[in-house]
Structure 1
Amino acid sequence: MATALATCDMAAIVEAVRLARGWSQAELARTVGYSQSWASRVVNGQQSLTLNQVREIAERLNIPIHLLRFAGANAAPVSSAPSRRPAVNAAGQAKGAGPTRRRDFTKVVAMAALPLPSASSAGDIHEETAATLRAITGGQRRLDASSPSRDMAKAALAHLELSARTLARAARTPFATDVAAAASEAAGFAAWLHTDMGDSGSARSYYRVAVERARQAGHNLLDVYMLGSLASFEIESDDPGVGLVLVREAARRLGDDAHPTARAWLSCVCALGHAGMGDTSAAHRELAHAESAVGRVDNTAPPWPWVFAFDEAKVAGYRALAAVRLHQPNEARSAFYEAFGRARPGPKQGALLMVELASAHADAGDVDEAFRLASEALRTGAAYRSEKVVSRVRRFRREYRGPRARCVSSLDEHLAAMITGTVGT
């Protein structure tokens, strides 16, 4: 114990106290105020500690703080008797101590002066904190499939604020990086909702927060996911040039040995960017890269934060979207049916796909089917108050240059009624 105290070997000190008092690791964890797994990592020397944590543990285990030293392993050991303190001179230095010993003594005095984090500021952060925050975001995402974004926005922003405050409290704990990752997911979902609400400025702001928190977490795949999501947002906002810059940066950060799901997804986002720029060969090249990635034998369980593995059907969906932007209606319709013939996407996502398919039918000259799909998508957009869906339908109408059929007039009337607030009157 004297040697452990002399070198501030907290793993040995904590384990010796636990054995001397006959505690289990769970009892030790309750005493020091951390989780059992965290206490186990400390005892096994797998968990580094801050100065605040050293002082906190020493106080809760009744270890006199002045006995802890930061000298090297060859320094003379300090007695473990609580009543024996090193003598000091008028300058507060240890009598007879050389420069190294004086520096060590000064460190102990400085450490003893540090305030303990209060239970309200840090003691409530534990190994389940990040998982709980992520579970809340996950539940909100599931509700998003069938709920208006405006109904969810206030709760999502409150959760984002909670995540930010929790992250601030977690700054001096071993769980800070996990909480930062959870905060990144919360910000990404807030961005998604504001995209659906048509608030592009707020969406960009929240995506930037999501990227910043992902980098604070030190989680490379989460960083890539959020940066790629921002790239996809810019491409869908009719700024494919900016989107391509962002997706290339995400690909650079991803590296060459990435999981196939991540690689395929980024290639598909890049393909949409090239299609938006009218570059057919580059779009097809990226889609071929995606198809090659999803065909790899190790493309099984997706890496977090991806939830589902990227498969052939998902690549087909992006091929359909690229073909719409490249005005290749036959390829688009074929790819749509390959991707979504058996799938049942959520109402809002399904409405967005209907608008894309409507564009393909309009390019092919099938006006009645095109406007039937657009009208159905508009009804869904109105029901869920999705500005994103309504805006896509309005863009579809602006870009239509075909004959003035009755179905075209009907959609115009429906759009006008929505603007004036007379839908259904």
Structure 2
Amino acid sequence: MPEAEETTFAAELRRLRGEVSLRALGRRASCSKSIISDLEHERRVPTLPIARGLDKALGAGGKLVSLAEAQRQRLSEETADAAGDSAVDGLLREWDEVWRRDFLKGAGAAGAALATGPGAGTPAAAGGRDLMDAHLALRAAHGRLDNLRGASAVYAHAVGHHQQILAWHATAAGPAERQRIAALAADTGGFVGFLTYDLGMAETAATHYRDAAAHARRAGDLSSCTNLIGQMSRILTDQGHYHRALTLADGALHLAGTAAHPAVRSWLHAVRAHHYACLADTRLAQRDLTLAWTLLERADDGEKPTYIGYLDAAELNKWTGHAMVRLGQRTPSLLRAGRTALDEARAAWPATSVRGSAEVLTASARIHAACGDRDTAANLASRAVAIATETGSARNLRAALTAANG
């Protein structure tokens, strides 16, 4: 007699829901109907809080929680095993080749010089949940300070903190602890990469992102790894390497599949839309923007990773504007949509994200200028220059000055 197939979370959820509507179950489980639909059709991986809510609402006696835990464990193992590693390694090798071929020499030495600061090379104290929480809180504080005052205000401290995490990882007691610390190292390393990039050192930022992606792979964190590869692609497109940027973004989205968090996948589609726009491919750019907005509806599920916590409608409107500025050069009718998106982004932009507002203002200045509204464009560019100067953002200042002189 053949063995019965193993029950999956999706199959059990469909069976237990029966005739109960998605909306009704969502109310009982404090979960959106779109999330439940995605879970039933295996378009997303169940998080434990959502699994617990559904389990309780359907009286499953813990079965849905057990199935969710088993599925997440299998995913973690698959991400960390040879198949996952080979896919990630292939993308990282692609990045290494681009870096060697297209970036200026001497970045390695610059990276070594910058990898110093308070506490660099000093092992952290013994591990534990409290220590991990303290490091997570410090990383969050660094992020808030960067948003308010800019990269220069936090850079040395962030680099020193990252070095402490690396030292802790090197002395971890066992595989489980090494995996947890590797996930933290991916986060702090990616943050250092962003800060370095914002200060105008693209080549060095690239090495930080590359190393952070490798740590995310070791941690089995698919969402973090694909997010970091997307960040690498953004550097490439800013440097004018559009086709190579697209190759990395394509690889990140292929690797992400349906398993990476919807917020990460939404952001990756938005970034790839910009890559397509730089290549004047209107159809594929607009397709990716549609996918980005669709995934945004599923992003706030209670487990959005902190490193992508900024993703919201304002952020997607910013990327929509970026794409339309490019596409409008060939198709002027798209400029109006881009201007509307950027006006909405500015109106909803968080007051705590001071540094990031310079990027939105610059894009708005460019699209208003393209629409013929020179006075508004000049005002927006002037504000962007002031903010970029105040926050020490070389990347934003360079773009804002170009827009102001445009």
TM > 0.5: yes
State the Cα distance separating 1:132 from its structure 2 match.
2.6
Structure 1 pair 256–163 and aligned structure 2 pair: CA distance change class (3 A): same
Q: Which runs of 5+ in 1 are unaligned?
A: 1-119, 401-425
User: In 1, distance between residues paired with 2:124 and 2:386?
Assistant: 49
Normalization by structure 2: what TM-score?
0.63
Whole-Å separation in 1 of the counterparts to 2:379 and 2:310: 33
CA offset at residue 266 of structure 1?
1.4
Give the 3 Å change call, closer, same or farther, for CA 311–195 of structure 1 in structure 2.
closer
Matched with 1:290 is 292
Q: Kindly provide the amino acid, as one letter, of the partner of residue 343 in structure 1.
A: W
Query: Is residue 2:215 matched to residue 1:198?
Result: no
Name the SS for the 1:125 alignment partner: coil
Helix, strand or coil at the partner of 1:341: helix
Deviation at 1:257, TM superposition (A): 4.6
Task: Say whether 1:391 aligns with 2:393.
Answer: no
Structure 2 Cα separation of the partners of residues 313 and 397 of structure 1:
23
Residue of structure 1 aligned with 2:341, choices 335, 339, 351:
335
Residue identity matched to 1:285: R
- Does 2:266 align with 1:264? yes
C-alpha deviation, 1:162, in angstroms: 0.8
Give the equivalent residue in structure 1 for 2:367: 360
Instruction: Please state whether the residue corresponding to 2:188 is helix, strand or coil.
Output: helix
Q: TM-score, normalised by structure 1?
A: 0.61
Flag the 1:307–1:390 CA change in 2: closer, same or farther, 3 A: closer
8 Å CA contact 1:196–1:389 kept in 2: the answer is yes
SS of 2:196's equivalent in the other structure is: helix
Contact kept in structure 2, 1:122 and 1:169, CA below 8 Å: no
The reply on whether 1:324 has 2:325 as its aligned counterpart is: yes
Over the residues paired in the alignment, what is the CA RMSD in angstroms?
2.4
Q: CA contact under 8 A between 2:346 and 2:357: conserved in structure 1?
A: no
Equivalent residues in 2 for 1:63-212 (5 A)? 124-170=126-172, 172=174, 174-212=176-214
Alignment length (residue pairs) = 279
Please state whether the residue corresponding to 1:344 is helix, strand or coil.
coil
Return closer, same or farther for 1:180/1:236 CA change in 2, 3 Å cut-off. Answer: same
- Conserved? CA contact 2:169–2:181, under 8 Å: yes
> What SS does structure 2 have at the residue aligned with 1:124?
coil
Does residue 1:300 correspond to 2:309, yes or no?
Answer: no
Rounded to whole Å, the distance in 2 between the matches of 1:121 and 1:197 is: 27
Shift of 1:151: 2.9
**1:123: how far off?**
8.2
After superposition, what is the alpha-carbon deviation per residue over 1:133-180, rounded to whole angstroms, capped at 9, x for unaligned? 222211100100112322322111111111111110116363111111
Task: State whether residues 259 and 303 of structure 1, in contact with CA within 8 Å, keep that contact through their aligned partners in structure 2.
Answer: yes
How far apart are the structure 2 equivalents of 1:130 and 1:363?
49
Relative contact order: is structure 1 or structure 2 higher (C-alpha 8 Å, sep ≥ 6)? Answer: 2
Pair 223,171 (structure 1): closer, same or farther in 2 beyond 3 Å: farther
Equivalent in the alignment of 2:37: none
Offset at 1:214?
Answer: 0.6
Q: 2: CA distance between counterparts of 1:159 and 1:122?
A: 10
- Separation of aligned partners in 1, 2:384 and 2:340: 20
SS of the aligned residue for 2:129 comes to coil
Output one character per residue of 1:365-393: Cα deviation in whole Å (capped at 9) or x when no partner. Answer: 11121112111211122222221121112
| Inter-CA distance 312–377: structure 2 relative to 1 (3 Å threshold) | closer
Distance across 1 between alignment mates of 2:162 and 2:309 = 24
Which deviates further from its counterpart, 316-325 or 125-134? 125-134
Is structure 2 residue 258 aligned with structure 1 residue 234? Answer: no
Distance 1:121 1:358, change over 3 A: closer
User: As a proportion of its length, which structure holds more helix?
Assistant: 2
Distance 2:129 2:189 in 1: 21
Residue pair 1:336, 1:357 contacting (<8 A) in 2 also = yes
- Does the 8 A contact of 2:270 with 2:288 survive in 1? yes
* Separation (CA, whole Å) in 2 of partners of 1:236 and 1:156: 24
Q: Which has the larger radius of gyration?
A: 1
Q: Which amino acid aligns with 2:305?
A: W
> For 2:176, what is the secondary structure of its paired residue?
coil
Contact 1:234-1:243 at 8 Å conserved across structures: yes
- Alignment check: 8 A CA contact 1:194 1:202 kept: yes
Q: Any conservation in 1 of the 2:318–2:360 contact (CA below 8 Å)?
A: no
Counterpart CA distance in 2 for 1:309 and 1:331 is 23
Q: Which amino acid aligns with 1:197?
A: L
Residues in 1 aligned to 2:244 and 2:204: alpha-carbon distance in whole angstroms: 17
The separation in 1 between residues aligned to 2:195 and 2:310, in whole angstroms, is 23
SS of residue paired to 1:145: helix
SS in 2 for 1:303: coil
